[in-house]
Structure 1
């Protein structure tokens, strides 16, 4: 069997792994945006306790390795609280990646919100809006356009970090690749695997670049 025939034979399994990788990335970043929004608003609020809680969350998840967070959630936490055992590997990965992405998105969102002219906040307060109304109805909607480049970068980072889930035996691209290499004794499989990663990255990069050009406030 030629090298090309072997590569063609591996493609279906690699594409199945790609589905897991892409789905994990999409759902994790989506969850990260939602978590990050609330964290950023909490960190900028005047409530000192809330600011400290949100700040501690962001510090923890940005300051510790994602791999350790994943390992603790999947292996460590069940030892402490058996009721929190996660038997579904995808769910465990989604939670770990979503929580981690939320910490990074919080800082991106906070920067985008703070880039909005302060005069708009003062005007909204003069009209009788409270902090949460001002943010939800006036400031956050305007900051969304400024977030597009940051969301694109976060997506690409999570896409590449998703390879870590192979260490808990979730069948993503990396896990499938390692399994094929182990069973066939042929490391050539890493070539189409890397190409597949590049294709996925390129496709989504184009999507985000076009979205940025259409909606972003930056030239």
Structure 2
């Protein structure tokens, strides 16, 4: 099979796999953002138990391989009666993993804001939660955008590991095409090009958003 025929025949399969990759990564990132913000607030909490739980979560997840976490969720949970689809398992695994890294990003962003602003808000009668929503987070989110985009790109590439769950994302499609065509070089170069395209688009959109935020400020 020549290269042109290969591309024409299998491009739709790669495109469909790339779409599933984007879907599972986006869902995982959204879950990670929720978990990350919660864990970050726990990490800076004055309540010892909450702080310990937050630190335990980030320590355990950051200290173990994502692939092991994927197998615990996909292969381990059914053993205790929890049945999940490959897509949901992938989202949960990516979300839990990403949340630990986002927690550190958010924590650093919050701590980068002058503590005097929180003290001033409290002196005006604001609760801790209200001060976070009205004063701290609006300033911190601009600083959080670049590292969170980097986490998004890293998560997109790490999503290739969910191919072990037989989820037909981009990497899994590449494995199937490679085994059926016996053309691994062409196949994985195509997979790499799709990943490169997706990460480039993410970085481009992020840079545009950053420029708009800078212009508004």
TM-score range, shorter chain: over 0.9
- TM-score w.r.t. length of structure 2: 0.95
1:155 to 152, 156, 163: 152
SS, match of residue 144 in structure 1: helix
Q: By how many angstroms is 1:5 displaced?
A: 1.3
Moved more, 10-19 or 184-193: 184-193
Q: By how many angstroms is 1:109 displaced?
A: 0.5
CA distance in 1, matches of 2:34, 2:139: 16
1:184 to 160, 178, 181: 181
CA RMSD of aligned residues (A): 1.3
2:212 to 208, 214, 217: 214
Contact conserved, 1:146 with 1:216, CA < 8 A, in 2?
no
Q: By how many angstroms is 1:216 displaced?
A: 5.3
The answer to whether 1:54 aligns with 2:51 is no
CA distance in 2, matches of 1:184, 1:204: 31
Moved more, 14-23 or 28-37: 28-37
CA distance in 1, matches of 2:69, 2:32: 15
Q: Paired residue for 2:167?
A: 170
- TM-score w.r.t. length of structure 1: 0.94
Q: Paired residue for 2:197?
A: 199
The answer to whether 1:23 aligns with 2:23 is yes
Alignment CA distance shift 1:115-1:122 (3 Å): same
SS, match of residue 113 in structure 2: coil
CA distance in 1, matches of 2:189, 2:63: 33
CA distance in 2, matches of 1:106, 1:91: 22
Q: Paired residue for 2:108?
A: 111
Q: By how many angstroms is 1:107 displaced?
A: 0.5
Q: How does 1:1-80 map to 2 (within 5 A)?
A: 1-79=1-79
Contact conserved, 1:7 with 1:189, CA < 8 A, in 2?
no
Deviations 1:83-104 (A, max 9, x none): x121x10000001111111111
Deviations 1:31-75 (A, max 9, x none): 111111111111111100000011101111111111100001010
Q: Paired residue for 2:133?
A: 136
SS, match of residue 85 in structure 1: coil
Structure 2, gaps ≥5 residues long? none
CA distance in 2, matches of 1:132, 1:47: 15
CA distance in 1, matches of 2:87, 2:78: 16
Query: Number of matched residues?
Result: 214
